[in-house]
């Protein structure tokens, strides 16, 4: 039975963590739209807020692990330029989604706190107007992800991780070696 692979160090966690904020923050606006369109969509607005909060929190981890990984990356002038741009975009993404999450929390919570704001205009118009702002945040997020992708797929930057000792691989390696030594029967 195979066990779990060893957990990488903090600087090696970036490739594992970075996809959470991307996925969560890109899915959240779908819940906002459904929350506005559906008649009893208020719980979906709260779900969108939860996704934004978790996604925004994940940006803090992604930036932190990315900074640690960036210190270990092999450097060339081209890698330095893209890495610096990626880091600046990542920090901007973190700030933008922190602000967007706070604003959306106010939009979702205000009608609960102030009963007068439970009119359809506020329930529909504010979340839809918010989505326009959110769209700008998505552009920053996409650019951040694109530059991270360039670092990996175009420039070959890799997360530096300690080599994993794989006791589970040893029996497989022995089996392959033994099968190579055995004569083949037609």
Q: Predicted confidence band at 169 (pLDDT cuts at 50, 70, 90)?
A: very low
78 within a domain of the structure (yes/no):
yes
Closest CA to 59 of 29, 24, 84: 24
What mean pLDDT do residues 143-167 have?
80
174 within a domain of the structure (yes/no):
yes
Helix 19-37 × helix 120-149 angle, to 10°: 160
49 vs 110, higher pLDDT: 49
Q: Predicted confidence band at 181 (pLDDT cuts at 50, 70, 90)?
A: low
**Range of weakest confidence among 11-15, 58-62, 75-79, 179-183:** 179-183
5 within a domain of the structure (yes/no):
no
Ramachandran quadrant class, 45 (left: phi over 0; alpha: psi -120 to 50; beta: rest): alpha
Q: What is the largest CA-CA distance in the chain?
A: 84
Q: Using CB atoms within 10 A of its CB, is residue 182 exposed (0-12), middle (13-18) or buried (19+)?
A: exposed
2 within a domain of the structure (yes/no):
no
Planar angle of CA 117, 118, 122, nearest 5 degrees: 65
Task: Please determine, for residue 161, whether its predicted confidence score (pLDDT) is greater than 70.
Answer: no
186 within a domain of the structure (yes/no):
no
The answer to whether 167 touches 161, Cβ cutoff 8 Å, is no
pLDDT score at 127: 92
pLDDT, tens digit, for every residue of 36-73? 999 888 999 999 999 999 999 999 999 999 999 998 88
3 within a domain of the structure (yes/no):
no
**Number of compact structural domains in the chain:** 1
Task: Please determine, for residue 112, whether its predicted confidence score (pLDDT) is greater than 90.
Answer: no
Q: Predicted confidence band at 123 (pLDDT cuts at 50, 70, 90)?
A: confident
The domain in which residue 21 lies consists of 10-181
4 within a domain of the structure (yes/no):
no
175 within a domain of the structure (yes/no):
yes
Task: Say what the pTM is.
Answer: 0.80
Task: Please determine, for residue 124, whether its predicted confidence score (pLDDT) is greater than 90.
Answer: no
Task: Please determine, for residue 164, whether its predicted confidence score (pLDDT) is greater than 60.
Answer: no
């Amino acid at each position: 039975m195979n066990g779990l692979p060893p957990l990488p160090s903090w600087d090696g966690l970036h490739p594992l963590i970075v996809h959470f904020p991307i996925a969560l923050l890109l899915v959240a606006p779908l819940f906002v739209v459904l929350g506005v369109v559906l008649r009893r969509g208020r719980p979906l607005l709260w779900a969108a807020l939860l996704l934004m909060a978790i996604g925004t929190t994940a940006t803090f981890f992604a930036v932190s692990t990315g900074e640690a990984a960036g210190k270990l990356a092999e450097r060339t002038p081209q890698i330095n330029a893209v890495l610096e741009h990626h880091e600046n975009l990542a920090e901007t993404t973190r700030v933008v989604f922190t602000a967007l999450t706070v604003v959306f929390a106010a939009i979702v919570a205000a009608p609960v706190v102030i009963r007068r704001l439970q009119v359809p205009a506020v329930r529909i118009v504010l979340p839809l107007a918010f989505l326009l702002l959110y769209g700008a945040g998505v552009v920053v997020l996409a650019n951040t992800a694109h530059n991270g992708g360039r670092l990996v797929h175009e420039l070959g930057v890799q997360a530096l991780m300690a080599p994993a000792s794989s006791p589970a691989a040893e029996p497989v390696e022995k089996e392959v070696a033994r099968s190579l030594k055995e004569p083949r029967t037609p």
